[in-house]
Chains A and B, each alone.
Chain A
């Protein structure tokens, strides 16, 4: 309790109000710190303890955390952009111009949303490959890998549906080409295309559908899947600790099958 800030903070944490909200209360004991995670509806999907080794930057490169970070930035900037956006033709494009030239910080928010979206796609891909090369997809984590793949698809769909919303040439033709791919699906392609666009052409209906997908359906799906994804880390035994591939037969090792080490550890990993 050296500084005034921490004194006041301690006083706040000891107050009745604070205790009515955060059941873990004040204190720095291990129990309190565990309860800070365990008793919080948002944090309780995380484990209360993590292996110290996994906090090193080279263990994970923090790619999952950073992907979540970009998602949070996208949710916040996205909600703010919605205040100035009408999903109608041609008003959507004029709103882009307004955001750029009229709305205070509108240009900045749109830039932030756009660049974060690109960063999220890039980070999600990087996360996928990193997890693969570390071998973290192996049992018992196979289902979390599947959830991760679905999350990657949701990320791509989020980015793609958002691509149409500015209603500029870039948007229109990227979506025209992309939606025509769906009509190449055998038998039901034309139906899918019609349902996706709400018509035969990329038009007002398509803009509205993509808007609803982009702002409501896909973000909800993403939030739920992200929750499952994090919770499964805890349920599957925490972040994967082993190195990507165990050393196969090397010059130092003389006899014995190449899988010695892995076999022992795989057996160990079984709950």
Chain B
């Protein structure tokens, strides 16, 4: 082993250089070549420890000032009104208000998990180009069919809570469709360059947030609308 030590730096600070095979149709553009590296111990570990310490301090402070809820002993004969699941399931509970359990409780979460799992296995989610920059006509048609169908479906079942974010995202997609990549507006340039996976995930994030917030704050007895500041 010691035969090979001589002449080898034990502190290779640079990443190894990589050879790129560039085809004729692309032009290589290397953004960064030499990445400076630091030791995990102590630099990264101590920073991680510091981050966890800050987190623990915040949690301890919260625990000192706010008590965890504890209601009366479980009583199978009285359902509290409203009976709410933990906050992270309230988006689902809001869906359960509109659709039968097999749809809202089994199909929607099941499809969601499958959709999340397969994201990195499909090239469409990895391609970085803006939705309407390539195959513009085909993509516009697909967009109109999906956005229209989804909106009609939600409208048909009176799911206005989920319809609003869908329409908002569709609106921004329309702006993206009718903006040039050379637009003078920075915002428009940003929208144009977003790939399709970005739009879907943003739609999902928006739906999740809106449904959870509605379920947590704006639903009262019998799952009717309430205003949180008037209780």
Contacts and interface: CB of A to CB of B under 8 A. Distances in A.
A and B touch in the complex (CB under 8 A): yes
Interface of A: 29-31, 33-34, 36-37, 43, 46-53, 55, 62, 65-66, 68-70, 72-73, 89-90, 93, 96-97, 100, 107-108, 110-116, 118-119, 121-122, 125, 128-129, 132-133, 135, 137-139, 141-142, 145-146, 149, 153, 156, 159-160, 163, 166-174, 177-178, 180-182, 184-186, 201-202, 241-242, 245-251, 256-265, 267-268
A160 B86 contact: yes
7 contacts: A33-B39, A66-B51, A116-B59, A125-B88, A177-B83, A178-B85, A250-B189
B205 A115 contact: no
B29 interface: yes
A49 B39 contact: yes
Contacts of B165: none
Contact of A153 (B72, B102, B106, B113): B113
Interface residues of B, number: 89
Contacts of B129: 248, 257-259
A242 B30 CA distance: 12
A125 B18 CA distance: 35
Interface in B11-46: 11, 15, 18, 20-22, 25-32, 35-45
B199 to A, nearest CB: 12
A264 B88 CA distance: 40
Contacts of A65: 48, 51-52
Contact of B119 (A73, A145, A156, A202): A145
A247 B195 CA distance: 11
B130 A263 contact: no
Interface of B: 10-11, 15, 18, 20-22, 25-32, 35-45, 47-48, 51-52, 55-56, 59-60, 62-64, 66-76, 78-80, 83-89, 93, 96, 100-102, 105-106, 113, 116-117, 119-121, 125-130, 133-134, 181-182, 189, 192-195, 198, 201, 205
A256 B27 contact: yes
Given A138-B120, A248-B129, A268-B18, A48 B63 contact: no
Contacts of B127: 259
Contacts of A141: 120
Contacts of A178: 85, 89
Contacts of B18: 268
Contacts of A125: 88
Nearest to A31: B10
